[in-house]
Amino acid sequence: MLVAAAVCPCPPLLVPEVAAGAAPELDAARAACADALGVLAAARPDLLVVVGPAERSGRGPFPQGTPGHFRGFGVDLDVRLGQAADTGADAGADAERELPPSLAVGAWLLERTGWADAPIEGLGIGEPLAPERCAEAGREIAARAARVALLVMGDASACRTVKAPGYLDERAAPFDAEIARALGAADLAALRALDAELAQELKVSGRAPWQVLAGAAEGAGLSGALLYEDAPYGVGYLVATWS
């Protein structure tokens, strides 16, 4: 059963080495993410699953110890999804499999906060995945252990300003506002009802992972709290906790 969840944005710019001189601009987001991970640790889960958007080649699942990096963003920085599981096998056996960027950011957040509270797995979710399939995946995750926690990575629209990656779209701000409200209220029905086609048009990367969360939380009776909401660089970033 799902006992806690943290929702965090997944831009590589969250990593100070990637952001370089612009790093202070996301200090508040980083602090909120650290607080959100504290909620996960306090829940004392038996299993933590990190879920984020991914291309077809990077959907996993990814076992504990899977490596990732940020060299594609000009930074020679490696991360790992927790310490390699002690299976008696070579810890480098999965080195050819790498975390997609969203899960690499999640791994960086976990390393930054010193996560050592439960086994970790990663799952990349294809952004076109239909809402009902997302919910099904969430229910399967929640059934994996008696106490499951989710770290859900994803961004809201990338169309909030003329300088945004998707340019300005007047539909973006109200769409993001509804996402923020739903995450802050742990409103499962509202998350399930997110328009997948509109989300794609607005370059929302978190729609599918958030709908996985909605499926995982069915029957869990969790309450939500919105910790951070902003749109630096014209992209909606949200941090929330469910517990």
Give the pair of three-digit tokens for residue 103.
């899960």
Domain boundaries, the chain: 2-242
The domain made up of 2-242 has a fold known as Protocatechuate 4,5-dioxygenase; Chain B (3.40.830)
Q: Inform me whether the pLDDT recorded for 91 exceeds 80.
A: no
Which is higher by pLDDT, 96 or 4? Answer: 4
CA-nearest of 127, 154, 162, 156 to 236 is 156
Indicate the pTM of the whole model. Answer: 0.94
Question: Do the beta carbons of residue 147 and residue 3 sit within 8 Å?
Answer: yes
Over residues 166-210, the pLDDT tens digits come to 999 999 999 999 999 999 999 999 999 999 999 999 999 999 999
Mean pLDDT of 135-164: 97
Q: What is the mean pLDDT of the chain?
A: 93
- According to the model, what pLDDT value does residue 58 have? 65
Whether the per-residue pLDDT at 88 is higher than 60: the answer is no
Residues with Cβ within 8 Å of residue 118, at least 6 apart in sequence: 44, 45, 46, 47, 48, 149
Q: Rounded to an integer, what distance in angstroms lies between the CA atom of residue 50 and that of residue 140?
A: 14
For 58, the token pair is 């990077």
